[in-house]
Amino acid sequence: MAKEKQVFFCKECGYESAKWLGQCPGCRQWNTFVEEKITVGAKSSSVKKTLVAPTSILKVTTADESRIKTDIGELDRVLGGGIVKGSLVLVGGDPGIGKSTILLQMCKKLVDKDVEVLYVSGEESLSQIKMRAGRIGTFDKDMMLLCDNDMDNISSAIQKSNAEVVVIDSIQTMVVDEVGSAPGTVTQVREVTSRLMQLAKQNNVAIFIVGHVTKEGTVAGPRTLEHMVDSVLYFEGQWF
Ligand SMILES: Nc1ncnc2c1ncn2[C@@H]1O[C@H](COP(=O)(O)OP(=O)(O)OP(=O)(O)O)[C@@H](O)[C@H]1O
Ligand SMILES: [Mg+2]
Ligand SMILES: [Zn+2]
């Protein structure tokens, strides 16, 4: 039987506790605990289970390991030489640091070399994305845009598309309907991330997740997801 339970999470690192704590034993920060309701005993994930049969190791091809270069030197470098298909990459950083901009720049470089890209935004409208893209350069080749925050819709869009690279901007705006809690809670961002991980692996598509670092408010930070993804990139500002 499904039943509701109250738990407390550190919104910085995701440390879970049955009671509120002033200082987090995980990351030692103060006043980071937020209360969330989780449903226990319910089926944890309603992702349609696709039956995956075992594969003979002799038939596994390693050609899939080849990396897609973004042609943005520094980005390729931190990605270890380019984008790995089927990988889940977390892009974190303060609000306004330039996360959406650099990812859109990356998308432009990719479509220019005929890599199919899907850009999902829960933060901006289609016209806002197009305006931003216009400031980066002219998109000569097509790129698919989706403005949505429902993970069921996003899952089916990814499955139906031929996209090799998907950008999710941002994780804090996305929701899995069955998880009762609000967008941006630790429970919600973790469930969304685990869905995205399955999608990345099953469809062999590279997924970039944008995560805001927030000092205030109840929004779960990207550090709560670090252990769930394949790689983590943080953007930090430099003041001149
Ligand atoms: N490399 C850069 N150099 C100068 N300005 C930049 C650079 N990257 C982004 N900007 C500008 O900084 C502002 C914020 O960028 P952007 O929206 O990409 O940040 P963000 O991290 O996605 O922010 P948010 O958290 O609000 O989504 C924009 O006005 C953008 O034009
Ligand atoms: Mg943004
Ligand atoms: Zn913590």
Q: Is the C-beta atom of 100 inside 6 A of ligand 1?
A: yes
Residue nearest to atom 23 of ligand 1 (CA): 96
pLDDT of residue 64: 53
Do 207 and 119 touch, CB atoms closer than 8 A? no
Residues 6+ apart with CB under 8 A from 91: 99, 103, 208, 209, 210, 211, 233, 235
pLDDT of residue 222: 85
φ/ψ of 83, rounded to 5, equals -80, 130
pLDDT of residue 239: 64
pLDDT, one tens digit for every residue, the chain (240 residues): 677 888 999 999 999 999 999 999 999 999 999 999 887 765 555 555 667 788 888 887 765 567 899 999 999 999 999 999 999 999 998 888 999 999 999 999 999 999 999 999 999 999 999 999 999 988 888 999 999 999 999 999 999 999 999 999 999 999 999 888 889 999 999 999 999 999 999 999 999 999 988 766 667 888 889 999 999 999 887 766
Distance of CA 203 to the CA centre of its chain: 15
What end-to-end distance do the CA atoms of the chain give, in Å? 57
Query: What's the rounded Cα separation, in Å, for the pair 186 and 40?
Result: 15
Distances (CA, A) of 162 to 140, 158, 165, 205: 19, 8, 9, 9
Strands (E), the chain: 3-10, 16-17, 33-40, 67-68, 83-84, 88-93, 117-121, 144-147, 165-169, 206-212, 231-235
pLDDT of residue 122: 94
Report whether CATH 3.40.640.10 matches the domain 50-235.
no
pLDDT of residue 62: 67
Q: Ligand 1: which of 100, 128, 209, 210 to mutate, most ligand atoms within 8 Å of CB?
A: 100
Query: What's the rounded Cα separation, in Å, for the pair 111 and 142?
Result: 7
Predicted model pTM:
0.88
Q: Ligand 1: which of 72, 75, 101 to mutate, most ligand atoms within 8 Å of CB?
A: 101
Nearest ligand 1 atom, CA 169: 27
Do 132 and 145 touch, CB atoms closer than 8 A? no
Q: Is the C-beta atom of 99 inside 6 A of ligand 1?
A: yes
Q: Around ion ligand 3, which residues have CB less than 5 A away?
A: 10, 12-13, 15, 24, 26-27
